[in-house]
Amino acid sequence: MLHVEQIKRALGISGIAVEYYAWRSKKTVPKAQIDLILDRVDRILNICEIKYAREPYTISAEEENRLMIRQQNFRMETETRQEIQLSFITPYGVNNNSHKANVVSEVT
């Protein structure tokens, strides 16, 4: 949360006003959490997954499935109609594999 301005700059959205917050599910089982959401005035939500790794982060098939379910749960619980974009924040980026297909942007 302390680095939202730097994250916005890295995403190329520094000129767009955003509200930012974390989210935790209240209805779905198992419970889910989203590390950071950038709720933009242009009606796009950047759902930011923040991971620490000592090398490029690898998304597994299992994790890709969890990310998609988490987005669906978020959409259902909040009843948002905004476009959702998945962003990863990690020191060395995300490995380019078949499970990275839904990642729209990265911040290193």
pLDDT in tens, 13-27: 999 999 999 999 999
Residue 11 neighbours by CB distance under 10 Å: 21
| Count of the separate structural domains present in the chain | 1
* Structural domain boundaries enclosing 38: 4-107
**Domain CATH for 18:** 3.40.1350.10
Instruction: Give percent of the chain above pLDDT 90.
Output: 93
Confidence at 30, pLDDT banded by 50, 70, 90: confident
Rounded Cα distance between 82 and 89, Å, is 21
Provide the pLDDT confidence category of residue 80 given band limits of 50, 70 and 90: very high
